[in-house]
Every structure is written in structure tokens, then in C-alpha cells.
């Protein structure tokens, strides 16, 4: 059991109290003195396969971390692990001061998650507001019906991503970029402390990619959320993140972007697929061929 989960639950309930203004909540929530996510020699995998090996990494609250690495380097496993959907086979992972296998549902509700963009059935009958309201369900718990205050929180989240005027539209009728904004709003409606984004720009056109990344950066500044963003697009995030984590089954490098994005480090991970242009743009051949 987590040592102080009751205190944490009380704090969580206070965060859910809609009478407290959101900005107030953020200032009243005491900063944790220790990391919000902490991997300690953690290895993840399935019998016979290692997806991530011997990862040691500490992420303090309010940090914006970009996670990069080639296909199959364990980026999505890292995401699933932080979500508590996968326990380490050896070592430990503590998220929100809880061991991940002990991550109770009320803790998961504090992690806003944007999964990799799947194929959304364009006919799935859900309005934008209904989709965002789902973000409230985990925190509400079983048997409790969403109240007007939950609806207000969902609408506020939609306003934060600039989509409130689309609240009654069919989700399937929106463009890819707009759908990503709605899913980010769904994650925000959880009133999370951690935002976990798995390739939020994949499958979007260039304008939409920029606008989604700008939105994420803006949310980081305004809400002081801890953000873990998995991406293939190194150039898009290099100037925006506090720290980059480079994975290829093992943790190859972690630090400020200028320290990680060095040709000698990148070429170890990407090999011949890596091209660095004279304008310092990093092109990963493998990624662009396959997508």
C-alpha cells in the first residue's frame, strides 16, 4: 500500500472541488519535493522479450520532457508503464509517489493520457462535449452521475484548447487536428497533474502539427503540468522541452536538448538513418520512409 495515500486522496478530492478556482488549486497544491515520476533500474517486457531495460530516470513536477527514439525503442511501453498498465519485471517505478502496480484508480485519474491517434470510426455517435465528459468519469468513480459542475469543468477544458464552440458537433466530423485538441481537452478534464502524450502530431498536416505543439507548450506554461511527450518529430519540440530522453530499449541519453541532440549520440541510436542538414535540421530516414 502507498504510505500516505489518504493524504493524497484528500488532496485529490480538494482538486475536484469545483468551488475552488483552477488557478487557486494549482498554487495551493504543494510542490512535491521528490520526483513525480521515478524509474529506478526498471526493466519492462513480456516473457522472452525485453521492451525497456534498466531505466533510471527522475522527472520532477512541472517539467516538460520529450521522449524520442526509433520505432520499437520502447517509447509506448514507457507510456503504458507510467499509466500503471504494465509493472516492471525488475527494478521499480514510482508515479505520484506510488509503486506502479499499486496505482489505484484515483491515481490514474491524475494522469491525463492522449493515446496514439488510432482510426476513429467517423460514424461513432459521440459529440465533442460527450467525448470530453469521459475525462471526468475516472475521477467521479462508479455509480456517481456527472453534475453540472463536471459539465463546467469539461467546457472549461474545451475552452482551453479553443474548441468550446464545437461542443455539440459530431467528433467524427472534425479534422484530425481538431480531434487531437478534443482528446487533449478530455485529458485536461481529468484535472491531471501529469499529461502523457503519445505521438500527438502523427497523421496531422504540417499546420495542424504546429498548432497542436504550440497548444501543448501553452498548456505547460499556463497550468504548470508535468508533460511527457513521445514524438518522432525532434525538430518540432527541441526548442520547447526542458529535457529530452533518448531511448533505444535502454536509456541512451537524458538532458537538455542541446546536450542530447549531438550527432555522435544520435548516430549511435539511429545509425545510417540519421541525416543532419546544414540548417541543423535532424532527419530520420526510417521514420519518413515508413510514414
Partner 1 sequence: MLRASRLRETMLELLAYDFMQRSLLAAALVGAVCSVIGVFVVLRGLAFAGAGTAHAAFAGVTLAYLLGLPPLSLAIVFGLATVWITGWVEEKGRMKLDVSIGILYTATMALAILFLGLMKTYNPEVYGYLFGSVLSVTTEELLTIGGLSIVVLGTILLLSKELYFIAFDQEMAAASGVPARQIFYLLLTLVALTVVIALKTVGAILVFAMILIPASTAYQLTHSLTQMTLYSVLIGIFCAVTGVLLSYAFDLPSGPSIVLLATSLFFLAVCCSPKRLHRIQAE
Q: Which three cell numbers stand for residue 79?
A: 507510456
Cell 468551488 belongs to residue = 19
CB of 80 to partner 1, least distance (A): 8
Give the residue with the Cβ less far from partner 1, 107 or 238.
Answer: 107
Verify binding: residue 134, partner 1, rule CB under 8 A: yes
Verify binding: residue 101, partner 1, rule CB under 8 A: no
Binding letters toward partner 1, positions 52-91, x by CB under 8 A? -------------------------------x-x------
Stretch that binds partner 1, among 22-30, 43-51, 86-94, 164-172 (CB under 8 A): 164-172
Among 3, 123, 239, 277, binds partner 1 (CB under 8 A): 123
Buried-state track 258-275, b at ≥16 Cβ within 10 A, e below 16: eebbeeeebeebbeebbe
CA 22 to CA 62: how far, in whole Å? 16
CB of 112 to partner 1, least distance (A): 8
Report the 3 state secondary structure along 14-75. Answer: HHHCCCCCHHHHHHHCCCCCCCCEEEEEEEEEECCEEEEEEEEEEECCCCEEEEECCCCCCH
Angle at 188 (CA atoms; ends 125, 42), nearest 5 degrees: 110
CA 177 to CA 183: how far, in whole Å? 10
CB of 2 to partner 1, least distance (A): 15
CA 207 to CA 251: how far, in whole Å? 32
Residues 188 to 217: which contact partner 1 by CB under 8 A?
A: 190
Verify binding: residue 130, partner 1, rule CB under 8 A: yes
Q: Where are the beta strands (DSSP E) in 106-161?
A: 111-114
Give the residue with the Cβ less far from partner 1, 106 or 210.
Answer: 106
Give the residue with the Cβ less far from partner 1, 105 or 159.
Answer: 105
CA 95 to CA 101: how far, in whole Å? 10
Verify binding: residue 175, partner 1, rule CB under 8 A: no
Which residues contact partner 1 (rule: CB under 8 A)?
A: 83, 85, 105-109, 111, 113, 115, 118, 123-127, 130-131, 134-135, 137-140, 142-143, 145-146, 169-173, 190
Amino acid at each position: 500500500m502507498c504510505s500516505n495515500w489518504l493524504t493524497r486522496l484528500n488532496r485529490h478530492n480538494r482538486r475536484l472541488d469545483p468551488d475552488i478556482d483552477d488557478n487557486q488549486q494549482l498554487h495551493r497544491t504543494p510542490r512535491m519535493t521528490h520526483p513525480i515520476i521515478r524509474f529506478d533500474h526498471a526493466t519492462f517486457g513480456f516473457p522472452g522479450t525485453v521492451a525497456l531495460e534498466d531505466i533510471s530516470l527522475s522527472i520532477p513536477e512541472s517539467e516538460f520532457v520529450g521522449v524520442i527514439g526509433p520505432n520499437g525503442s520502447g517509447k509506448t511501453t514507457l507510456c503504458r508503464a507510467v499509466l500503471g498498465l504494465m509493472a516492471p519485471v525488475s527494478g521499480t517505478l514510482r508515479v505520484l509517489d506510488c509503486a506502479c502496480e499499486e496505482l489505484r484508480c484515483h491515481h490514474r485519474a491524475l494522469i491525463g493520457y492522449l493515446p496514439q491517434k488510432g482510426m476513429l470510426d467517423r460514424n461513432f455517435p459521440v459529440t465533442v462535449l460527450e467525448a470530453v465528459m469521459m475525462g471526468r468519469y475516472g475521477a467521479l468513480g462508479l455509480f456517481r452521475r456527472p453534475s453540472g459542475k463536471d459539465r463546467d469543468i469539461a467546457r472549461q477544458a474545451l475552452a482551453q484548447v479553443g474548441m468550446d464552440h464545437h461542443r455539440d458537433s459530431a467528433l467524427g466530423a472534425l479534422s484530425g487536428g481538431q480531434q487531437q485538441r478534443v482528446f487533449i481537452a478530455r485529458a485536461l478534464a481529468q484535472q491531471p497533474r501529469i499529461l502523457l502524450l503519445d505521438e500527438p502530431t502523427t497523421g496531422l498536416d504540417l499546420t495542424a502539427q504546429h498548432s497542436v505543439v504550440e497548444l501543448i507548450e501553452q498548456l505547460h506554461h499556463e497550468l504548470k503540468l508535468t508533460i511527457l511527450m513521445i514524438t518522432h518529430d525532434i525538430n518540432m519540440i527541441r526548442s520547447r522541452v526542458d529535457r529530452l530522453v533518448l531511448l533505444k530499449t535502454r536509456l541512451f541519453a537524458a538532458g537538455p536538448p542541446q546536450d542530447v541532440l549531438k550527432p555522435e549520440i544520435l548516430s549511435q541510436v539511429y545509425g545510417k538513418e540519421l541525416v543532419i542538414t546544414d540548417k541543423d535540421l535532424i532527419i530520420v530516414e526510417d521514420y519518413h520512409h515508413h510514414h
